[in-house]
Amino acid sequence: MQQTEQRKNDKAEKFQKVKKAIHKVKDSPTAPIAPKHIKLSDSTHPAEEIKAPAEAATTLARDNFRDSTISIALPASIVINSQSGELQTYLVGQIARAASIFRIEEIIIINDCTSTSEEAKLKRKQGDATNFFVKNLEYMETPQYLRKALFPVIPELKYTGLMNPLDAPHHLRQTEWSTYREGVVIPRPVRADRGSWVNIGLKKDCQIQEKLAVGTRVTVRINEKGDNLELKYYTGNVVSQLEPKQQLGKYWGYSVRVASGIWDALKGCPYPEGKYDLMIGTSDRGETYRKLKIKEANTYKHALIMFGGLPGIEGLIDGDENAEVTSEDAPRLFEYYVNTCPDQGCRTIRTEVLALL
């Protein structure tokens, strides 16, 4: 009993000591200690202070900069091999992701769907194969904040939610700052001496110097160096889609070109040089890659890699009325005619898988 009473007395004494200490802190005139944080100016966004990681990333990107372009060409008929609209959409998404992973600047879709019976398979509600392919590729490449303004509700884009997002460097979030951003011209009133307004995916719009039609997609270089809370809007200039790659070393998406046939794909180079100086064809009839000596990086300016799809490159040549060669001359069209998987375990390799090899 005595021990129990002693324990109660000890607890009571401790309680009184704690109570006195609490009152002493409350009565103290000392101001409370503010939490430790990064010192920021009153007019700048916190992201502006964090510059070192961004500069390091830019330096690393410049070190890995590839001063050349790579294009891939493939027939639109490969989507017909999929049995439903969902599978066709997912196939296009695989092509788009493969192109982004390997930093492809141009995707060429060869319109080889000339057979009425073949087109009928895909026409159900999605439209023809070429248009279906192009629309879904362009949708995937477009940043999420621009899609509603650039793409109406159409049957071709019914199953776009099944495609895995690219999350490419130009698919910036609202909380991310970048000197370059993709934007779309919006219908906002402007003065006679001012340029158009552009939605660049931030909380504030950007005014450019040029006057462009509403709905035009542009690449904008923002004049401001960071988010400033005092600014009512941003200002910028429209630049080439290649400038972010040239200045920052960042991959900035791909463009889509439709070719009437394989000959148009090979000869219709859109770059100022007017031709591809490195052309590679892929075929199971080609030479195994182990025996080839491919050019080293940056020894070419514009490279083109051709995938034959279901008909093969030889079949694409036979189906092109404008081709100036026959299918027997297919290897001569390319600097390298390659079998990228000579020991394949399947009888055929699907194009969306071959693109990753």
- Classified by CATH at the fold level, domain 180-248 comes out as OB fold (Dihydrolipoamide Acetyltransferase, E2P) (2.40.50)
Please name the residue that has the structure tokens 């026959």: 326
Q: Per-residue pLDDT for 26 more than 80?
A: no
Q: Can you tell me the distance from the alpha carbon of 355 to that of 138, in angstroms, rounded to the nearest whole number?
A: 18
Q: Per-residue pLDDT for 347 more than 90?
A: no
64 touches 250 (CB < 8 A)? no
Residue 197: predicted pLDDT:
95
pLDDT in tens, 183-199: 999 999 988 888 999 99
Domain parsing of the chain, residue ranges: 62-167+253-354, 180-248
Q: Can you tell me the distance from the alpha carbon of 290 to that of 339, in angstroms, rounded to the nearest whole number?
A: 9
Q: Per-residue pLDDT for 267 more than 60?
A: yes
Q: Can you tell me the distance from the alpha carbon of 225 to that of 50, in angstroms, rounded to the nearest whole number?
A: 12
Q: Which two tokens stand for residue 327?
A: 């299918």
Sequence-distant (6+) residues with CB within 8 A of 94 are 352, 355
Q: Which two tokens stand for residue 154?
A: 């159409």
| Intra-chain end-to-end CA distance of the chain, in Å | 84
Listing DSSP states for 275-306 in one string gives: S-SEEEEEEEEEEEGGG--PPPTTS-SEEEEE
**Phi first, then psi: what are they for 312, rounded to 5°?**
80, 165
Q: Per-residue pLDDT for 321 more than 60?
A: yes
Q: Can you tell me the distance from the alpha carbon of 320 to that of 339, in angstroms, rounded to the nearest whole number?
A: 23
Residue 64: predicted pLDDT:
53
Q: Per-residue pLDDT for 265 more than 80?
A: yes
- Classified by CATH at the fold level, domain 62-167+253-354 comes out as Alpha/beta knot (3.40.1280)
Greatest CA separation found in the chain? 112
